[in-house]
Chain A
């Protein structure tokens, strides 16, 4: 399957998963909201142009917003992590080796330690910004702190499970592809 088709299917699946399953989960606590949709942005291929990456992230966040009735709330953090992603990848990855042989970030292509650092940091940044926006419109400081930590922990747990469930084969990029 070509990378384009695969990512379009993923786009739809992540939105549906977030809207119709995770947003329907009965709330356990006000700090704990299951978010996993932004994993889509973390899984996009290495080779995407940075501006295209941000545009995709914007469209992705916005289409989630249309379902939850909060236009722009999820789009802003998505664009932020799409902007930071290339910097972070440049820092973490040893140049010249991995980026050229694998097509997208993953535990196989980057190794467990760098990949968890990458996912952990971007998850934290995403939730920090998302809750910050929520906090500015209403709420108190304890809510802000608690929710950032709570949602980050839950998201990381779910991403870990997703990685275990769906072993993405670290596909080699050949000259033909």
Chain B
């Protein structure tokens, strides 16, 4: 017993070094798998607050660009308005139904919430965005994040007023996507190389891909609505050892300038994920 105490006393510095290392590594592994960090609530409020001030300052420099994007999106949306399509020979007017549940049995699957980006990195291997909207304002984990030009990422961590989004530019990010013209699905990843290029893996070699093809979110995704813009094919690599293409995708979203985004909630998200993750009982 005495020897143990002697040992501890003698190597106290080294032991405390080991202890701190272990704590750091545990924090790291916990945060990258579950994103539930110990003091995440308090600290993300604090860092979110600082980020907000900084982004307030920076937003002045990109006001012009943001305005252009919003105006462009407005025209696009206005063109989609039902009131633009009036049948020439009819006295009826089309109304769009905005209730949650309408009488013909359709239900609302996606709700869209606007949010402001107050923190954003593109230079690291694990990039996150911070949004000024949290659980008090209806944000939930797993919600999809979509920008004016294309998809941006997925919500991974929330506090009452701030939420944190795993950007598409994160080494662990996976989003299901497909080619617009023939619906061949694959998965969008990032190789950590260039913030404007994503990788689309597992596209079957039977797909007739050419440079410039549009890639949109697939119908298989639980959190993303289908047919949202992801990007365009910029180069095609046929993997000789497998039956799949690896495509490089030029992102539609410019991650350097993203200012406002929409959070998309799938009202049946939990139900779908729960069912998909249930282990098979009788196979």
Contacts and interface: CB of A to CB of B under 8 A. Distances in A.
Interface of A: 20, 23-27, 30, 33, 50-51, 54-55, 58, 61-62, 65-73, 75-76, 79-80, 83, 133-134, 137-139, 143
Contacts of A75: 20, 23-24, 27
Contacts of B122: 26-27
A51 B16 contact: yes
A73 B28 contact: yes
Given A79-B17, A83-B17, A143-B192, A71 B128 contact: no
A136 to B, nearest CB: 10
Majority-rule SS of A interface residues: helix
B238 interface: no
Nearest to A74: B24
11 contacts: A20-B54, A27-B195, A50-B13, A51-B13, A51-B16, A69-B121, A72-B23, A72-B31, A75-B23, A79-B20, A143-B192
Chain B interface size, as a band, is 35 or more
Interface in B180-239: 192-195
The 9 closest A-B pairs by CB, nearest first: A72-B28, A72-B27, A76-B24, A71-B31, A69-B128, A72-B24, A75-B24, A83-B17, A71-B27
Contacts of B164: 69
Given A23-B121, A30-B193, A51-B16, A137 B32 contact: yes
A68 B124 contact: yes
Contacts of A133: 25, 28
Contacts of B256: 26
Nearest to B193: A30
- Which of B27, B32, B125 has the largest count of A CB atoms less than 10 A from its CB? B125
A25 to B, nearest CB: 6
- Which of A69, A72, A133, A137 has the largest count of B CB atoms less than 10 A from its CB? A69
Interface in B264-282: none
A37 B238 CA distance: 42
Interface in B120-157: 121-126, 128
A54 B21 CA distance: 10
Nearest to A33: B123
